[in-house]
């Protein structure tokens, strides 16, 4: 974890975050409404509507973070392929 924090401190986006289409999508056919993603995400990417999570703030999602996907018990959360997005990060 200390290594992640150290790298994170040196991370710089090469274009504005609002222009980078990195955010989760929810497959509602798999989502059971447990809201683990809502409570787990420290960036408040999710909100709850009709007792289901929704992506309310997609650009608040940290580029290349997909930890909420790993927490989802039903594998209802998906992200784009990370390989397509590493180009937007520079390490100082």
DSSP for 33-85, please give it. Answer: ---HHHHH-TT--EEEETTEEEES-GGGSPTT--HHHHH-TT--EE---GGGT
Structural domains present in the chain: 2-91 (3.30.70.20)
What's the confidence (pLDDT) of residue 8? 60
pLDDT, tens digit, 9 for 90 and up, residues 14-51 = 999 999 999 999 999 999 999 999 999 999 999 999 99
């Amino acid at each position: 974890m200390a290594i992640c924090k150290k790298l994170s401190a040196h991370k710089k986006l090469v274009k504005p975050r609002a222009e980078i289409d990195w955010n989760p999508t929810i497959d509602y056919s798999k989502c059971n409404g447990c809201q683990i993603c809502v409570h787990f995400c420290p960036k408040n990417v999710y909100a709850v509507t009709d007792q289901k999570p929704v992506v309310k703030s997609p650009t608040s999602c940290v580029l290349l973070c997909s930890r909420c996907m790993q927490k989802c018990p039903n594998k209802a959360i998906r992200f784009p392929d990370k390989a397509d997005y590493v180009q937007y990060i520079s390490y100082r």
